[in-house]
Structure 1
C-alpha cells in the first residue's frame, strides 16, 4: 500500500475515532450533567417543602389536630404545586397508615417503593422509575409532626432529559456520516486543518470538564466541525447559565435560612422569659394574663416574621404594604420585651419618643428596633444605660439607639453592614450572634427609604440613627 493510501486510511480512522469519541463524551457528559441538575433541583425543592413544613410545626403543636394538620399540609402542597404549574411536577403526601393526604399525580404510584426502606427522618432519598413510557424522578423524605410521621414524595418528569440524549445521538449520527463522507473527498486538502479543529474541540471539552464552564470552542469554519463546535458552545452556555442560576438560588435560600434563624432569637427570648416568670412566680391572675398575652403576641409575631423576612429577602420593596402608624405606640408594644432583655443583662433602658406618624410596615420596624437594641445590649456592660428615642431634627424624623458600650473601631465601621461581618467575633459568637443584625436593619431601612448612620468610638459607646425623610410615596413621614 502506498504511503498516501496509508495516510488516507489512517486519517479516516483517526477522524472517526476522535469525532465519535468527542461526540459521545459531549452527549454523555451533557446528559449526566442535566440529569444531575434535575436531581439536585428536585432535592432542593423537596428541602424547600420540608423547610415550609418545619416552619409551621410549632403552630401544629399548639392545635394538635389531625384534621388541622392535613388541612395545613394540603394548603402547603397546593401552594407549592401552584407555583410550579408550568413544570411537570407532582407531590404526594401520606400519613403513617399510608393514607393519601395530598396527591396530584396522573399515574399510578408503585406499591413497592424500595427507596422508603430504612429511610430516616430528615433524610431525602431519590430513585428513577420508568412508568407508562415516562421516566419519573421520585424524591422522598419523612417529617415528624406531633409524633406522627408523614411521607412527602416530590416527583418530576425527566423524560425530556433522556429524550434529549436520544435526539443528540441521532443528530450526531447524521453529522458523523456526513463528516466522514466529506472528509474522504477532501481529506488530501484539509486533513491537517481538520485535525487541528478536532484537537481544539477536545482541548475545550477537557477544560470544561475540569470546571471552567466559561471556556468556548474558537472555530469559525462552516463545515460539520464548525457546526459541532457551535452546538458544543451552545450546550456549554446553557450549562453555565443553569449552574449560575442554581448557585444563586442556593445562596438566596441559605441567606434566608440564616436571617430567619437570627430573627427567631428575640421573640423566643421573650416567650422563654415570660414562661419562666409564670413557672417560678406565685399565681396572680392579672400578671399571668399579661404574661400569656405577651407570649401569644410574640408567638404570632414569629408566624408573621417568617413571611415578612421571606418578602424582605426575596421580593421587591413594592410588595410591602405601608400603613400609617404612631411610632410611640410601636415603642409601647416593644417596651415590655425590650425591658426583659435589658433586665437580664442588668442594663438600664430609657425610652423617649416625640409624636410622629410614619408610613411603615409595622412588623419590619419592630424587627429594626429589636435588632438595634439587641446589638446595643451585646456591646453594653452591667449597670450601663441604653437610650431608645425618636425625635425631630429639622424636617427629618430620627430613630436613635444610643449605648455606653465598647464601641466600634474605625477600621470596622465601613464593613459592619456586610452580612455575616463580625467586628468582634468572640463576643458575637458568645452571645449567639451571626453578624446579620445590621445587614437586616439596612435592608429594612432601604424598604422605608430611610438611611442608617453610625457614630462610635472605642470604649465610649455607639449611636445608631435611622433617618426618615419626607417626600417618599412608599415610605417615610406622612405629612
Structure 2
C-alpha cells in the first residue's frame, strides 16, 4: 500500500471515529437533558395532582365523589394516573395497559417521598412517579404516568440524521483528503522516480521541491547526494578510461619491441646473414631491450607511487638539483647540452627520493626534446609565498592541443621520436603523481620550435 493511501485511510478512520464519538456524545447529552427535564416536569405534575386529590378529599370527604373527579380530570387533561390502596388494590387506573406486579417504584414508599422509574411497556416508554398520600389518616399509593416516546423518537431521529449527515460529510471529506494526501506525498513520488532514474544509470536527474518542511530538506539533501554520486561516477568512469588506455598503451608498448626482438632473433637463428645485417639486428635488439628495461623501471616507479607511507623531511632543493645535474653529465655531454642551475638555497618539506625522480624525469624529457649545442635552465625561486621549481628548454616544443594530455601514461606527441629515444610516455605521469603526493601543481607552457617551460609549484 502506498504512503498516500495509508494517510488517506488513517484520516478517514480518524474522521469516522471522531465524528461518531462527537455526534453520539451530543445526541446522548441532549437525550439526558430531555429525560432530566421530563422527570422534573413529571415530579411537579405528580405533586400538583396529589395536592388536588388531597384537597378534594378534605372538602368532600367522599371517596366516590373524589374518584369521579379524578376520572373527569384525567379525561379532561389527558393524563394517566393510578390510585391504589396500601395493599396495591386498584381504586382507579386509566393506564390502559397491563403492568407487572413487580414494581420497584412502589416499594418502600413513605409520605412526602417520591420514587420514579423509566419503564418500557408494550414497546412504549413511560415515566412512573409514585408516592404515598394520606387521606383521612389513610395511606394510598398514587402514581403519575407519562408517555415519553417522543424523547426516544427524537433520539432515534437524531441518530438517523447523524448517519445521513455523516455520509454526506464523509464523501466531501474523502474527496478533499484524497487531493491533500496526494499533494502531501507527491514530493515522495518525485524522490522515488529520481532514485529509480539514478539506479538505472540516469545520474543527472534532480528534484525541484521548494518547501521549508522535512521533504524540502530531504529534497535538498537528495540533490547534494545525487551531485556527489554523479561526480563519483564520472570520476570512476574517467579512472576506468585511464586504466583502459593505460592497459592498451602498455600492451602496445610491450608488444612492439618484443615483436621486433623476436623477429630479429629468429632471423639470426634461422638465416645466415653477413656481419653488417647481424650487427644491425643485434643493435636493434639491444635498443628495444633497453626500451623494455626503461619501461619496466618507469612502471615500477608508478606502482611504488601508489603507496601512502612516504616520510617527508626538510630538504635543501639546490643540493638535489646539483645531484641531478651530475647524474645526467654523460647524457648532457652526448648532445653538448649545458644544464644551467640558478636560484637561492631554499628548503622544502619533501620526500627526497621522489623529488629526485620527478626532477630527473623532467630533465630527461628536456634533453630528449632539445637540439645539440643548446641550453636547459633549471631554477628554484619563491613567488607569492610559493616555492617554484622551473625547468625551461629551447627544444621542439609541444602544440597546445597536446599539453593537457601529455601527463597521461603512455601519451606521446611524437611516437617516432619517443621510440628513437627509448621513451614510453610515462615520465610526466610519474611527475604528476609525485606532485600530487606533495600537494603541488604542475604548469606547462610550450610553443612549437621555441621550447617548453614546466613549473612545479609548492604551496
- Which TM-score applies when normalising by structure 1? 0.35
- Which TM-score applies when normalising by structure 2? 0.36
Determine which structure has more spread, i.e. the larger CA radius of gyration. Answer: 2
